[in-house]
């Protein structure tokens, strides 16, 4: 007897982290969504945990979440693209404790899986740096490991970034995750030897440079190119895991 199998397409999913908070993860995530939209009809951003809100038309909102939604081509239930929204702009574990909220990584993973059924490409932006605390016992690294996605590292170019970048890349790989690429964001226009720093990281990070973001007084995710690996331009099948690395 002969069996045939039809492989269902799966979404391309990527996890975006940074060397610190405020290094441009949201800016790059939005730019990546725009770039992916040229190849995938349905792209969506996800911010699993967002800390810090303001009232817009009487509804609490987070700037990062709004930016990702603006760059997405498909609308999804808010409880999926931002499962945890916390009022205070502090570390997620503190914000969650203040709000009486338990950040459940299994729930965040389930929300991501639901998004994969609604989109062709999903860009997941982590909070803060890779090891930002989510609770007394878990960090953003635990979330990244549970999602098991290729990771893109956004490096904020400022004094000290080489150490931060190398440590973060080491931490990503220590979790058994693939560092699929990195981004140089010129956040400090007064920094000396910026190109020398980029050249060093190109040699040492062992991952492709996906974008070099110029300093922008008013950040615009469409103002710079993103170099997409060829594999990210494809629709994939459930068994086609090699394209994720």
Catalytic machinery residues: 47
Cα 177 from chain centroid (whole Å): 14
171/157 Cα distance (integer angstroms): 19
Identify the DSSP state of 54: E
6/24 Cα distance (integer angstroms): 40
- Pick the closest to residue 28 from 201, 212, 164 (CA basis): 212
Which two three-digit tokens encode residue 64? Answer: 């990062």
- The β-bridge partners of 212 are 184
Cα 174 from chain centroid (whole Å): 18
Looking up tokens 């639901």 gives 114
């Amino acid at each position: 007897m002969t069996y045939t199998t039809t492989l269902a397409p799966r979404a391309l999913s990527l996890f975006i982290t940074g060397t610190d908070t405020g290094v441009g993860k949201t800016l790059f995530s939005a730019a990546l969504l725009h770039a992916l939209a040229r190849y995938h009809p349905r792209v969506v951003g996800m911010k699993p945990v967002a800390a810090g809100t303001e009232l817009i038309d009487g509804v609490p909102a987070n700037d990062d979440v709004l930016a990702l939604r603006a760059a997405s081509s498909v609308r999804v239930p808010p409880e999926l693209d931002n499962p945890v929204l916390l009022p205070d702009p502090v570390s997620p574990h503190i914000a969650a404790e203040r709000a009486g909220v338990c950040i459940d990584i299994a729930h965040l993973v389930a929300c991501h899986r639901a998004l994969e059924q609604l989109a062709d490409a999903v860009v997941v932006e982590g909070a803060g740096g890779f090891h930002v605390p989510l609770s007394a016992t878990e960090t953003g690294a635990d979330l990244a490991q549970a999602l098991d996605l290729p990771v893109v590292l956004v490096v904020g170019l400022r004094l000290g970034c080489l150490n931060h970048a190398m440590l973060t890349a080491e931490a990503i790989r220590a979790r058994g995750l693939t560092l699929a690429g990195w981004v140089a964001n010129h956040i400090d226009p007064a920094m000396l030897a910026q190109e020398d720093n980029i050249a060093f990281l190109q040699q040492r990070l062992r991952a492709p440079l996906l974008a070099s973001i110029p300093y922008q007084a008013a950040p615009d995710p469409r103002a710079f190119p993103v170099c997409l690996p060829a594999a990210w331009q494809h629709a994939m099948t459930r068994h086609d895991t090699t394209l994720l690395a």
